[in-house]
Structure 1
Amino acid sequence: MAYMRKMISIDEELCNGCGNCVPSCAEGALAIVDGKARLVKEQYCDGLGACLGDCPTGALKVIEREAEDFDPEAVAEHLKAQGREVPDHMPSPESLRLVPGPAHVSPVRPMGGCPGAAMRTMTPCERANIPSFRASGRAQGGGSALAHWPVQLRLVPPSAPFLRGADLLLTADCVPVALPAYHADFLPGRVVLMGCPKFDNQQEYVDKLAAIIAENDLKSITVMEMEVPCCSSMSAILAHAIKGVRGPANIRRVIVSLDGRILRTEPFNA
């Protein structure tokens, strides 16, 4: 049965057949056929776009269309047949289906005067604005380290005053929930932009980030993701966004485990 969901789309005119996208797809959904990248089977593609950042020509994008359900069991058999490693985590088919109605709306819809979308810079007392964390990583009182509003990437315009010359903290939505020390160790002194690379419109994020980077002379970018494959798309989105724009030299990637540990911090390779 076909469902509306996100899928990789390949522009054959832009594709040069380099093959960079093939190993970056953990599910083995892509292959080079007759000198061009091709989608092997719809059921192998989770539509999360981890391959976007590895395409040097911009031939790949994520679109919404009717497609066969993602099939983790078929993916596992496919990868084993190729002698490739099967991912520890794969999304369920149900989680990838796009449900019409209020839960599925355009990320660029007019906000209609919603007060939650109004830009705001907060300058509370420095001591009150830094949470106190002990070695256990548990909060021991103190306030929030957040210094601006809004924080959702889709709501922040490139002209927001708090972006100018900022140290940007690009965060997948689930990270602050999993990481106890997010406010204490990462948020102070940084401007945070959050989004879900799994359910939100990835191309909108690419375009928004490219404009933000081009217009604001950022000092640094820290991109934070969960260890699960769907969250790895945030760094892929950033990699796609910085192509053709002059970004900061200091960019790093932080991977967080499901149990709230920093698995690794590494230089970002676009």
Structure 2
Amino acid sequence: MKRDIIKINKEKCTGCGDCIPGCPEGALQVIDGKARLISDLFCDGLGACIGTCPQEAIEIEQREAVPYDEVNVMENIVKEGHNVIKAHLKHLDDHGQKDFLKQAIDFLIAKNIKIPDYESETVSGSCPGSMEIDLGEKPISGRDAPMYSGELRNWPVQLQLLNPNAPYLKNADLLIAADCAPFAYANFHQRFLKDKILIIFCPKLDKTIEQYVDKLTEIFKNQDIKSISIVHMEVPCCSGIEVIVKKALEKSQKNIIIKDYTISINGEII
């Protein structure tokens, strides 16, 4: 079967091992001075290890691979103890993987192993790139405050990492942007992002478009979204943003008006 799975660039990899703690499933090891994916079976394709690689040597690709097996993963994880179990459960929860999370919990119940309170705190080894943060709660002040105030209210912003059940999505005004747009339009924060929750992705280069449709469908269906604004570039491939959003709206059976903005390569609103 074809599915998302990590790919390690051997030329970039220095064998530092920083990716290992970010993979509680045990899919990675440093062998002969390089990080290696030791089994497709243990890689869930969610990319928890990507944000911990200082060399940007890890990416996600879609290829033929054996199916991820949560039960086999749990067989290994329980051997590593309570904290690794906790990190794994939080990892699944952070990424909205409800089915795998249920399988993991059912496994623990069947083995009469205590289920850690994975929702109550930050867990060492959980995915730092997908940790839910509502940036609107604690504005930066004092000498560390930026000269110009940014309007980013949530983290993460990349759709692949976003938890569709994140509390900040409830009754939100969404800004769904192509990931090039904030760089092309200099006043992106003040013009588009103020008081909105940001979601970004690339409709051309990202390999998880159907998953994006499903995730947006879940957000639209369950989070009572108030409004949707789209910002994309003038290049033809970027119009895929609107196609994906409309497909998700159709699947969710929601009728939400879309405000669509196009940015020229010269950085102007068309």
Amino acid at match of 1:146: L
Could you tell me which residue of structure 2 aligns to residue 255 of structure 1? 262
Q: Secondary structure in 1 aligned to 2:149? A: coil
Q: How far does the alpha carbon of each residue in 1:226-266 deviate from its partner, in whole angstroms, 9 at most, with x for none? A: 00011111111111111132435331111110111000xxx
Answer whether contact 1:217 1:247 (CA < 8 A) is retained: no
CA 1:238–1:127 in structure 2 vs 1: closer, same or farther (change >3 Å)? farther
Partners of 1:104 and 1:149 in 2: how far apart?
Answer: 20
Partners of 1:217 and 1:248 in 2: how far apart?
Answer: 11
Could you tell me which residue of structure 2 aligns to residue 117 of structure 1? 130
Could you tell me which residue of structure 2 aligns to residue 215 of structure 1? 222
Could you tell me which residue of structure 2 aligns to residue 135 of structure 1? none
1:173 and 2:179 aligned: yes
The CA deviation at 1:124 is 3.5
Q: How far does the alpha carbon of each residue in 1:27-74 deviate from its partner, in whole angstroms, 9 at most, with x for none? A: xxxxxxxxxxxxxxxxxxxxxxxxxxxxxxxxxxxxxxxxxxxxxxxx
The one of 238, 242, 256 aligned to 2:249:
242
Alignment of 1:177-196 (within 5 A): 177-196=183-202
The one of 99, 103, 108 aligned to 2:59:
103
Answer whether contact 1:225 1:254 (CA < 8 A) is retained: yes
Partners of 1:116 and 1:196 in 2: how far apart?
Answer: 18
The one of 212, 224, 245 aligned to 2:231:
224
Q: Which runs of 5+ in 1 are unaligned?
A: 1-100, 132-139, 264-270
Amino acid at match of 1:156: L
Task: Considering fraction of residues, name the structure with more strand.
Answer: 1
Q: How far does the alpha carbon of each residue in 1:185-243 deviate from its partner, in whole angstroms, 9 at most, with x for none? A: 11110000001111112111111111110010100000111000111111111111111
Answer whether contact 1:219 1:250 (CA < 8 A) is retained: no
Answer whether contact 1:172 1:234 (CA < 8 A) is retained: yes
Q: Secondary structure in 2 aligned to 1:225? A: strand
Answer whether contact 2:178 2:238 (CA < 8 A) is retained: yes
Amino acid at match of 1:102: I
Q: Secondary structure in 2 aligned to 1:232? A: helix
Q: TM-score, normalised to structure 1's length? A: 0.51
Answer whether contact 2:171 2:226 (CA < 8 A) is retained: yes
Answer whether contact 1:151 1:193 (CA < 8 A) is retained: yes
CA RMSD of aligned residues (A): 3.0
Partners of 2:138 and 2:259 in 1: how far apart?
Answer: 28
CA 1:126–1:253 in structure 2 vs 1: closer, same or farther (change >3 Å)? farther
Aligned residues: 153
Alignment of 1:1-270 (within 5 A): 102-105=58-61, 113-122=126-135, 123-125=137-139, 141-200=147-206, 201-263=208-270
Task: Considering fraction of residues, name the structure with more helix.
Answer: 2
The CA deviation at 1:126 is 9.4
Partners of 2:190 and 2:259 in 1: how far apart?
Answer: 18
CA 1:116–1:103 in structure 2 vs 1: closer, same or farther (change >3 Å)? closer
CA 1:104–1:148 in structure 2 vs 1: closer, same or farther (change >3 Å)? closer
Partners of 1:259 and 1:170 in 2: how far apart?
Answer: 20
Amino acid at match of 1:118: M
Q: Which has the higher contact order (CA 8 A, sep 6+)?
A: 1
Q: TM-score, normalised to structure 2's length? A: 0.51
Q: How far does the alpha carbon of each residue in 1:108-147 deviate from its partner, in whole angstroms, 9 at most, with x for none? A: 997862212111112244999xx9xxxxxxxx94121111
